[in-house]
Chain A
Amino acid sequence: QVQLVQSGAEVKEPGASVKVSCKASGYTFTSYYIHWVRQVPGQGLEWMGIINPSGGTTRYAQKFQGTVTMTRDTSTSTVYMELSSLRSEDTAVYYCARYYYNNGGYPSGWFDPWGQGTLVTVSS
């Protein structure tokens, strides 16, 4: 079955970087975009960006421009999300999600499935 499995929880100090992985299985890795979404404790979902596993092209939310980098490794069917210059406000659960769309084309898609989430805690 289609599955996204993320790396484990992380604890980082302010100013550090964190790299979260998302390993895909059950489908052709390069055929579907992957999104990253975060959720600060007690708050809603926030879109961070998208990566095309085929060519590695990315697009980031303006809020994360300059601090987030999304990459992929086609040999292991894994995408990565690295967030730098961490602050306490970056404490959140980070999710990856596969993007799927039908005849409506690229804008019409949806997120399915989601990874299990990775808690990143930023604390001194």
Chain B
Amino acid sequence: QSALTQPASVSGSPGQSITISCTATSSDVGTYNYVSWYQQHPGKAPKLMIYEVSNRPSGVSNRFSGSKSGNTASLTISGLQAEDEADYYCSSYTSSSTWVFGGGTKLTVL
């Protein structure tokens, strides 16, 4: 059981917005101030989408945004497109000086 809990799946129709949550369920995640998000298409390597909770790397669509409230971080995708269908993972540093990933969320675009 990961110290970061994500929903197994979410879905939405093209043009809609969806939000994927990432909840720290263990005190081992510490202050949980820094979260990053990754997108992974089948058979491909993960790709950075959000860093430091809410920052977007250059080249990533502004339809992707991140936020955090308490011990829950969130990734929001607005204006859903078919190409957004993928697995999404959150990640954080822990107080044990290790790193952890959430279990992953499969996004289906209906």
A→B interface (CB under 8 Å):
35, 37, 44-47, 50, 59, 61-62, 95, 97, 102, 104, 106-117
Most chain-A CB neighbours within 10 Å: which of B45, B87, B102, B103?
B45
3 smallest CB-CB distances across A and B, nearest first, come from A110-B36, A110-B51, A107-B93
Q: Which residues of A contact B109 (CB under 8 A)?
A: none
Chain B residues with a Cβ closer than 8 Å to the other chain, count = 26
Interface pair B38/A108, CB less than 8 Å apart: no
Q: Which residues of A contact B104 (CB under 8 A)?
A: 44-45
Complex partner residue of A45 from B47, B52, B101, CB under 8 angstroms: B101
Interface contact tally, CB-CB below 8 A? 68
Interface pair B100/A110, CB less than 8 Å apart: no
**A114 CA to B93 CA in the complex, in Å?**
18
Q: Which residues of A contact B91 (CB under 8 A)?
A: 45, 47, 110-111
Q: Which residues of B contact A97 (CB under 8 A)?
A: 46
Q: Which residues of B contact A112 (CB under 8 A)?
A: 48, 51, 57
Provided the pairs A59-B97, A104-B52 are in contact, do residues A111 and B34 lie with their beta carbons within 8 angstroms? Answer: no
Q: Which residues of A contact B98 (CB under 8 A)?
A: 47, 59, 61-62
